[in-house]
Amino acid sequence: MATHTQNPAPRHTEEQGRPARRQKPVDAVPLWLKAVGVLVAIYLILPTLVVIPMSFSAGATFQFPPQEWSLRWYESFFTDERWLRALSNSLKVAVSVMVVATLVGTAAALGLSKSRGRWAEAVRSFLMLPLVAPGIVIAVVVYIAYLNWQMVGSFWGYLLIHTAMALPFVLVSVTASLSGFDANLLRAASSLGANPLRAFWRVQLPLILPGVLSGAVFAFVTSLDEVVVALFIRSPLFETLPVRMFNSVTIEIDPTVAAASSILVVLATLFILTPQLFRLVRRKK
Amino acid sequence: MSTATHTPQASSIQTEGTHISLHGVTKDYGLERPAVADVDLEIEGGEFVSFLGPSGSGKTTTLNMIAGLETVTRGTVSLDGVDVSHLPAYKRNLGMLFQNYALFPHMTVAQNVAYPLRERKVGRAEIKERVAAVLELVQLTGREAALPRQLSGGQQQRVALARSIVFNPRALLLDEPLGALDKNLRAALQLELRRIHREVGSTFVFVTHDQEEAMTLSDRIVLFREGGVEQVGTPEDLYQRPNTLFAARFLGDSNTFRVVPGADGVSYGDVSWAAVPDTVAPGVAGSQAAYVVVRPEHMELAQDGPVPTGAPSTRVRIQDVEFVGSFLRVVARSTDRDELITAKLSPGSATPEVGTEVDLWWRPESQRIVVP
């Protein structure tokens, strides 16, 4: 024991070149921190723990805990055309937003990582705006604009504003993965005969893929969950699942909303977990 | 089916070296002085040339301009007489080795080495064969499936080397490839580079700031200073016949005396030293000041007798004497100029006493008179 603590081995030149050995052992998380973590997690998922059992209730009104179990609210959800259309609208918008926001956001992150100076910083801040602007402000402004452009209650209207709102998430996560990317690899690829497009495709993209994927997931979930702007720009012809749920709660008090919530929660959770699962499988390989 | 089993051989990756020439090559970033200014250089096919110089002297920038990773502001880069100044790197077909290896971390050793071949649409079977051959050349057979991070620094650099020669590049450009390795590994890889250079026969351009490395490896050294070429020559040329004080001091140890050039010699204070014609660097004749350079191993100690007639000398007080095995290192201070002088004496010579005053002398033909 004593000899172990004697030499905190100063880094000398003979160490140079070898990949720096990580000497710091990973500190064990203290118990109190774990406890706090668990408490916060419980606090965050508590509503879900109420809603999901409630959706399996057999009662005609909201019941918790349910006295009898049934799938009637799921049946009601999957047989009611309005709910199904809302779900399909939500998925259509969310998937489209995911694709567009990921493409645009990744391109923006790549471009901005190569540019320096005030101009680039201004563009970056501008793209981040939807993250800091209050949802209600965005909603009112977009509503007025869409009224003029006759885009209220249209797929393209949802796509446009949800993409803008999802962009910051893609930008941030791709920028983070780019900061760990060694630009020398692109020079190496070039010296080995790869044109810039091929070098991006074969070298840079695979290495920043985790950042791109998690950006995509956040874009999808951002759109799927979004309710404030969606409420403003909805129309009876086109409404998304959160809007339908809001109406269902405020106007009809229909327990189907519990089933709908559960479906939404499961969808979002699956999507967030996908990259993690992906990483887990990869590590096992 | 086929009866002919193919044994991978080094010969399958042999090339004739490419002639590289630079004319008035300049890189100007718009700073106070250009990073590289008006470099003219001819590198013969198959030659091993080192770009040597302190950091910021323009050697890496020049290499990058040959590689096409840096644009030229003015001047032309030609490969075998064809101007490639405005060709992007990926069309120049030059191999490049980087100091930090620049291996693709998401690809295995085999995939890394196969990369340039896949970019060139080489067939699957041929890729396999050439990858095997080149991995044998760098002695990494059996590590095909490893990821770069599972290899040591030396192994990683050998993978990078394999990757940069597997596509028979017209020349190999090496940007301080051994800089990140420890001393023993460096020596081993230096030998290996020499061997691979012989076996592949391609032109090698090697950037380093380590004069010893440049001396042991290269056929010729290009010495860089502040964005320009200071002197070009074989290692022996540069060591024995430096043209400037900078060259004399950068390669090896040297004692330097500031002198005033005269008609048939130089004067050092009120003594005159004869100048043997061969030892005078170009440019000294018209120069106001010059330096006499004497290597420590050419210094002799006049202990048992007077300084031989005609031999230049200087009076010193001995400060320190070290026995270094193959020679005696004597550190002394000249009595009149207060300059530090070192001499390497053969081990047989009598050990001088520290604190005594003696004369150090040298043969006029072993000195070199250079411009500042």
Number of structural domains (chain A) is 1
**What type of residue is B5?**
T
pLDDT of res. B1: 39
Q: How far is A188 from chain B (nearest CA, A)?
A: 6
Helices (H) and strands (E) in chain A, counts: 13, 0
pLDDT of res. B13: 52
DSSP string, B301-319: EE-SSPPPTT--EEEEEEE
Give chain A positions within 8 Å (CB) of B105. 207
- Cα A252 to Cα A248: distance, rounded to the nearest angstrom: 5
Q: Check: CB of residue B201 under 8 Å from CB of residue B15.
A: yes
In a domain, A26, yes or no: no
Are B153 and A17 inside 8 Å of each other by CB? yes
Task: Please give the CATH number for the structural domain made up of B10-237.
Answer: 3.40.50.300
The string of pLDDT tens digits covering residues B167-224 is 989 999 999 988 878 888 888 889 888 988 988 888 999 999 989 899 989 999 999 9
Q: Check: CB of residue B64 under 8 Å from CB of residue B70.
A: yes
Q: Where in chain B is the domain with CATH 2.40.50.140?
A: 256-370
Taking CB atoms and an 8 Å cut-off, how many pairs form between chains A and B? 79
Are A198 and B89 inside 8 Å of each other by CB? no
In a domain, A143, yes or no: yes
DSSP string, B263-294: SSEEEETTEEEE--GGGBPTTSTT-S-EEEEE
In a domain, A116, yes or no: yes
Q: Check: CB of residue A208 under 8 Å from CB of residue A242.
A: no
Reading the block at residue B266, the tokens are 């130089």
CA dihedral B212, A184, B182, B234 (to 10 degrees): -10
DSSP string, A243-255: HHHHHIIIII--T
Instruction: Identify from A181, A187, A191 which residue to disrupt to test chain B contact, counting B C-beta atoms within 10 A and taking the largest count.
Output: A191
Q: A210-235: buried (b, 16+ CB within 10 Å) or exposed (e) per residue? A: bbbbbbbbbbbbbbbbbbbbbbbbbe
- Cα B280 to Cα B371: distance, rounded to the nearest angstrom: 9
ipTM of the complex: 0.81
CATH code of the domain containing A246: 1.10.3720.10
Does A65 sit behind a cis peptide bond, omega within 30 degrees of 0 on the bond before it?
Answer: yes
Tell me which residue in A13, A188, A202 faces B96 most closely, judged by beta carbons.
Answer: A188
Please compute the mean of the pLDDT values over residues B259-272 and round it to a whole number.
Answer: 78
Interface of B with A in 230-289 (CB under 8 A): none
Q: What are phi and psi of A112, to 5 degrees?
A: -70, -30
The string of pLDDT tens digits covering residues B42-88 is 999 999 999 999 988 999 999 999 999 999 999 999 999 999 999 99
Give chain A positions within 8 Å (CB) of B181. 16-17
Residues present in chain B in total: 372
| Domain range enclosing A263 | 93-284
* Per-residue pLDDT of chain A in tens (285 residues, 90 and over written 9): 333 444 444 444 333 444 444 445 566 788 999 999 999 999 998 888 888 888 888 877 777 787 888 888 898 889 988 889 999 999 999 999 999 999 999 999 999 988 878 888 899 999 999 988 998 999 999 999 999 998 888 899 999 999 999 999 999 999 999 998 998 999 999 999 999 999 999 999 999 998 999 899 999 999 998 989 999 998 888 889 999 888 888 887 778 888 888 888 888 888 888 777 877 887 766
In a domain, A22, yes or no: no
Give chain B positions within 8 Å (CB) of A194. 90, 115, 119
Biggest CA pair distance of chain B: 88
Q: Check: CB of residue B312 under 8 Å from CB of residue B292.
A: yes
Q: B288-319: buried (b, 16+ CB within 10 Å) or exposed (e) per residue? A: eebbbbbbbebbbbeeeeebeeebbbbebebe
Are A187 and B100 inside 8 Å of each other by CB? no
Percent of chain B whose pLDDT exceeds 90: 49
In a domain, A41, yes or no: no
Over its C-alpha atoms, chain B yields an Rg (Å, rounded) of 25
DSSP letter for A203, please. I
Task: Please give the CATH number for the structural domain made up of B256-370.
Answer: 2.40.50.140
